[in-house]
Amino acid sequence: MWLAPQQGMRLDSGGSGIIRFLCRQAGWENARVRRTIPFFNYPALFASSEDTYLDTIRRVLAAGKYILQEDLERFERNLAAWLGVGHVIGVGSGTDALLLALRAAGVKPGDEVIMPSHTFVATGSAVHYAGAVPVLVDVRDDHLIDPAAVRRAVTPRTRAVVPVQLNGRTGEMDTLQEIAVENGLVIIEDAAQALGSQYDGRKAGTFGVAAGFSFYPAKLLGCFGDGGAVATDNDTVAERVRRLRDHGRAQDYGVREWSYNSRLDNLQAAILDQKLAILDDALSRRRAIAALYHERLSRLPGLLLPPPPGTGGRHFDVFQNYEIEAERRDELRNFLAENGVGTIIQWGGRAIHQFPALGFEVDLPVTDRIMAASLLLPMNTALTDEDVLYICDLFDTFYGD
């Protein structure tokens, strides 16, 4: 499909030389060539390092080493060093990482755990399956948990707070740490979207007693399936998570408590270790894409953008997602789709308190406002600058340059 040439549209945002040549021949000086930009291009990311992935897969399969083997241990050591924590324990998913971290940190049935509603349901289900009660609070304009709301939600039954470091940004952790100390709470970070993000020079996942990371394929560090990890500096918590991921068994195979099976596959760990080696480059690329979006989109009315990289002072953001709030969001989304650009409304457009089946009755105005207007634009290392400029051109057209 070709867009009709229009005033103000630029040719330089896409297409091969030959197409540009033909456009010029046809007098379509201002034609924009249609692109197809999926929200997340899984096949392209595989293709970008296909040979190395296949070498890794062949090596691990040929060695017959599948469960709790050296590749897993090596990845756990390398990720712990990269984060600057004592221990990383690979588990079956980000959800399990949170559940096992909560249990290992001593969260017990009947405890209350304060967390934002503005998160994937997994944060809440981890709290629920630890036997605790999720207490949902509001977020601030940067989509992260509001420390003042945490303070107001504390009761004698509160045991923990789970800040969600959303979209690649880490919250105001010094204030949360003060609140935790004052009230005798533990902090367990949901860092599923924040690997490599920093606050005050410290990485997400190093602020509390433990943190959960996810290696879901579209996450900052993704594998070819499900995977996750717990990070902790606490030796006792680490030892307990190692038991909890393996049926509650200790090194001597003695079962110390009830648990179940949630181990990170050795094969996935080998692939993750390969990708960890280039993670810093991937995060820089995401920040560059965010800067490009910001430069172009900040000129337009009707949009709220995330803070651009490099201006955050205490924040170092890694842009797991580029989440905007947009006027006429649904219309915009359709317009982008008609022009080949895939977008996503995070969590199907609902925060946890907005699912009636879960039975919450709370008033969270900022979360409600965000969910009604938010949209995730393509943000991944398969995007070219030209892709981003094409998307920004579409915004110019939609909001009337």
Ligand X SMILES: *Cc1c(COP(=O)(O)O)cnc(C)c1O
Q: What does the binding site for ligand X look like in residue numbers (CB under 6 A)?
A: 93-95, 119-120, 122-123, 164, 190, 192-193, 214, 216, 226, 228
The values of phi and psi at residue 167, to 5°, are: 60, 20
Are 35 and 390 within 8 A, CB to CB? yes
**Burial letters for 110-119: b for 16+ Cβ neighbours within 10 Å, e otherwise?**
ebbbbbbbbb
**94/309 with CB nearer ligand X:** 94
Q: How far is CA 161 from the centre of its chain?
A: 19
DSSP 304-364: E-PPPTT--TTEE---S-EEEEETTHHHHHHHHHHTTB--B-GGGG--GGG-GGG------
Token pair for 160: 């923990």
Residue 166 CB, nearest approach to ligand X (Å): 6
**23/244 with CB nearer ligand X:** 244
Residue 333 CB, nearest approach to ligand X (Å): 20
Residue 90 CB, nearest approach to ligand X (Å): 12
**28/120 with CB nearer ligand X:** 120
Residue 171 CB, nearest approach to ligand X (Å): 12
**89/389 with CB nearer ligand X:** 89
Angle at 226 between CA 195 and CA 194, to 5 degrees: 15
Residue 269 neighbours by CB distance under 10 Å: 29
**15/222 with CB nearer ligand X:** 222
d(CA 396, CA 399): 5
Residue 92 CB, nearest approach to ligand X (Å): 8
Residue 94 CB, nearest approach to ligand X (Å): 2
Tell me the helix, strand and coil percentages in the chain, rounded to 5: 45, 15, 40
**147/163 with CB nearer ligand X:** 163
